[in-house]
């Protein structure tokens, strides 16, 4: 059985193909995926749904993934965060993303890599409080 979790994962990315790919893959493992095309949509969903994990692209038009994570803390200070990006690591470091392995996944990624990373984040203590020291003001 492939079921690994029953948690709700809010996936935020401005690329509809990536949203669809992740939705399909994580649903196979028992997760409940909710999709948002941008940060504004994600914040609206946070008011309506109980979210266990925020899986967000870092580089998006408008509100970026780091700022989105901060705003999410208003609704759920214990929210688990997993950042993703297709940009190379120096670009990510410039955005203030923690270099911690559990908080970031590089695109493109294999489905099994993403699912393992999601499980690790959901099982660990890395809510936004753990990341605050690494995020720029």
pLDDT at 17: 95
Domains of the chain plus CATH, in order, are 8-134 (3.40.50.2300)
pLDDT at 73: 78
CA distance 4 to 87: 29
- The dihedral over CA atoms of 68, 80, 47, 30, expressed in degrees to the nearest 10, equals 120
Q: Which residues have CB under 8 Å from 111's CB, separation 6+?
A: 25
Residues 93-118: tens digit of each pLDDT: 445 555 444 478 888 889 899 999 99
Residues 46-67: tens digit of each pLDDT: 888 889 999 999 989 999 998 8
CA distance 35 to 43: 11
79 is written with which tokens? 């929210």
Residues 6-32: tens digit of each pLDDT: 899 999 999 999 999 999 999 999 999
pTM of structure:
0.83
Confidence of residue 135 (pLDDT cuts 50, 70, 90): very low
Report how far apart, in Å, the C-alpha atoms of 28 and of each of 25, 52, 67, 70, 92 are. 6, 17, 30, 29, 29
């Amino acid at each position: 059985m492939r079921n690994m979790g029953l948690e709700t994962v809010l996936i935020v990315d401005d690329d509809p193909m990536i949203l669809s790919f992740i939705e399909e893959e994580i649903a196979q493992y028992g997760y409940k995926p909710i999709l948002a095309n941008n940060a504004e949509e994600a914040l609206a969903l946070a008011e309506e749904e109980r979210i266990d994990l925020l899986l967000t692209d870092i580089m998006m038009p408008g509100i970026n993934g780091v700022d989105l994570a901060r705003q999410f803390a208003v609704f759920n200070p214990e929210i688990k965060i997993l950042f993703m990006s297709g940009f190379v690591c120096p670009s990510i470091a410039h955005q203030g993303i923690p270099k911690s392995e559990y908080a970031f996944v590089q695109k493109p990624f294999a489905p099994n890599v993403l699912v393992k990373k999601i499980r690790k984040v959901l099982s660990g203590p890395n809510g936004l409080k753990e990341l605050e020291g690494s995020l720029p003001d």
